[in-house]
Amino acid sequence: MARALAASKAPSKAPKKAAGLRILMVASEAQPFSKTGGLADVATALAKALGRLGHDVTVMTPRYRAVAAGAIVGTVTIEVASHAFRADLHEVTLGPGARVLLVDCPELYDRRGIYNEDGKDYPDNAVRYAFLSAAAVNWASQQAKPFDVLHAHDWQSGLVPVYARSLTGKIPGTVFTIHNLAYQGLFSKAWVPRLGLRWQDFTIGGFEFYDQLSFLKAGLAFASAITTVSPTYAEEIQRPEYGHGLDGVVRARRDVLAGMLNGIDTDEWNPATDPLLPQPFDAAHLGRKAASKKALLEMFGLPADEHSLARPVIGMVSRMVDQKGLDLIAAVASVLPALGASFVIVGTGEPRYQGMWTRLSELHPDRISAFIGFDERRAHLVEGGADIFLMPSRFEPCGLNQMYSMRYGTVPVVRAVGGLVDTVRPYNPRNGQGTGLLFSEYRPDAMLDALGRALSAFGNKKLWTRLQKNGMRADFSWDRSAAEYVKMYKRVRRIK
């Protein structure tokens, strides 16, 4: 009664301002705090883009080792697996309307690695990421001004939509984004009660996957809406070939599934301002890219004389895992040195692929050089200095490196799959249209054929420059996709 009276006393004559949404994202990586792959770039860049559109975005992510502290704005204490974990929440501003909350729980996150150490997953990853999800929901419950949407990314935050069911009052809608269906967060079912989950949800329609607990499936089953990071991948994951055993689950929820293409952070990845390049360049001053090529060859210990500089440089920056098509390269490793190009590789991952590149570098020290490790500086220099960027992925939900490459006038050679199809336009030698070279069949000869086409285009300076400029002028900004996310958030938020 009192409440109704108060409400009727506050007639608002002022025109209603289009209210920004309050969005809480949950991601296990975020630039510049932590990164193993594209999720880190996307979590931060999407939050910044939404902030620029006038929304209020918070990204919750673990405070891993060596990440600087921010101002402590709250605390959560949650019991997971019979142990009470406490975390301070450190706030760091990303930009207008966007901030990160670093979940500081040293017991869980202050370690040498992010997900693993010496190739072995941490045995308590179920606890580490159940806690992250629970912390986000707990923080949401503490807010006087509630969130409209909880947006979870990948398996590490798959339990967010499950835990969110405990919220009362104005309940936010939940969105789950698949960045990669291959990583599913599978754990023994013994974890179900220990993580505060209900056996009645351990079903085919819930989070059970072949008698194990799947964090990813929890996200797919319980979120109000599902997105993935390109329209083509959204189609592909509904087929067994790309479904990693979950295509049936994806099909069952296709009415709430949308493929929204990732953008890139055009400030971070801008050849005209990139402090990690020796000399800035843009489409109007493409000649200045030569300084990056020289610096790249020198940094990688390859010959950088005039003759060598004239030769095309093929670059790769990649997690060294099956997804990235490294077995195709292994199949033709012996012919690579005969292609008339130099190779520079930056990557880390499976020992067999690391070993392959190390061996190739030792065998052909004047043509091939690989850096095994994670290195932001080298990654930028490869984008800036290489002529061709190779990405022969077996599958690729979106892929960011092909977009970074195009922006830096480095022509991508990619397999026509997932987001690579949606971002690289095939080069047509007759009219000079297109931004890269594609091949379809997952076969070594098909990849070599595409590389051959790229190398022959490189031989025609006029055509090559056009191809480079086509890519440099393409729009890969977040603007369009961020607006699509907003539309989707508005559909799922629940107004009470």
Give the whole-angstrom CA distance, residue 292 versus residue 383.
9
Binding test (CB under 6 A) with ligand GLC, winner from 171, 225, 400, 492: 400
Give the whole-angstrom CA distance, residue 189 versus residue 16.
50
The torsion angles phi and psi of 77, rounded to 5 degrees, stand at -130, 125
Going through 156-207 in order, the beta strands assigned E by DSSP cover 173-178, 186-188
Q: How far is the CB of 412 from ligand GLC (least distance, A)?
A: 13
Nearer Cβ to ligand GLC, position 171 or 413?
413
Number of residues that bind ligand GLC (CB under 6 A): 14
Nearer Cβ to ligand ADP, position 173 or 409?
409
DSSP 227: E
Residue 346 interacts, among ligand GLC, ligand ADP, none and using kind-specific CB cut-offs from 5 to 8 Å, with ligand ADP
Among candidates 376, 383, 400, 406, which has minimal Cα distance to 263?
400
Give the whole-angstrom CA distance, residue 445 versus residue 284.
36
97 binds ligand GLC (CB under 6 A): no
* Contact yes or no for 494/173 (Cβ under 8 A): yes
The torsion angles phi and psi of 348, rounded to 5 degrees, stand at -150, 150
Nearer Cβ to ligand GLC, position 195 or 400?
400
Which span (36-44, 91-99, 165-173, 268-276) binds ligand GLC, by CB under 6 A?
36-44
User: Does a cis peptide bond (omega within 30 degrees of 0) precede residue 123?
Assistant: no
Please state the separation of Cα 45 from the chain's center in Å.
10
398 binds ligand GLC (CB under 6 A): yes
Q: How far is the CB of 398 from ligand ADP (least distance, A)?
A: 6
Residue 108 interacts, among ligand ADP, ligand GLC, none and using kind-specific CB cut-offs from 5 to 8 Å, with none
37 binds ligand GLC (CB under 6 A): yes
Q: How far is the CB of 384 from ligand ADP (least distance, A)?
A: 12
Residue 318 interacts, among ligand ADP, ligand GLC, none and using kind-specific CB cut-offs from 5 to 8 Å, with ligand ADP
Q: Residue with the closest Cβ to ligand ADP?
A: 38
Binders of ligand GLC in range 148-207 (CB under 6 A): 179-180
CA angle 313, 318, 324 (to 5 degrees): 105
Q: Is 174 helix (H, G, I), strand (E, B) or coil?
A: strand
Give the whole-angstrom CA distance, residue 332 versus residue 443.
10
Going through 250-294 in order, the beta strands assigned E by DSSP cover 257-259
Amino acid at 118: D
**Count of residues in the chain:** 496
Q: How far is the CB of 262 from ligand ADP (least distance, A)?
A: 7
57 binds ligand GLC (CB under 6 A): no
27 binds ligand GLC (CB under 6 A): no
Binding site for ligand ADP (CB under 6 A): 37-38, 41, 317-319, 346-348, 374-376, 379, 398-401
Residue 347 interacts, among ligand ADP, ligand GLC, none and using kind-specific CB cut-offs from 5 to 8 Å, with ligand ADP
Binding test (CB under 6 A) with ligand GLC, winner from 23, 26, 42, 134: 42
Residue 376 interacts, among ligand GLC, ligand ADP, none and using kind-specific CB cut-offs from 5 to 8 Å, with ligand ADP
Which span (112-120, 132-140, 343-351, 395-403) binds ligand GLC, by CB under 6 A?
395-403
* 270 class by beta-carbon count within 10 Å (0-12 exposed, 13-18 middle, 19+ buried): middle
Output the six-digit token pair for 84: 């009470």
Residue 317 interacts, among ligand GLC, ligand ADP, none and using kind-specific CB cut-offs from 5 to 8 Å, with ligand ADP
Binding test (CB under 6 A) with ligand GLC, winner from 388, 396, 411, 415: 396
* Contact yes or no for 413/434 (Cβ under 8 A): no
Contact letters for ligand GLC, residues 406-445 (x by CB under 6 A): -------------x--------------------------
DSSP 237: T
Measured from the Cβ of residue 343, the count of other Cβ atoms closer than 10 Å reads 26
Q: Residue with the closest Cβ to ligand GLC?
A: 38
Among candidates 105, 112, 103, which has minimal Cα distance to 85?
105
Binding test (CB under 6 A) with ligand GLC, winner from 229, 329, 368, 411: 229
DSSP 68: P
Footprint on this chain of ligand GLC (rule: CB under 6 A): 37-39, 42, 179-180, 229, 262, 396-400, 419
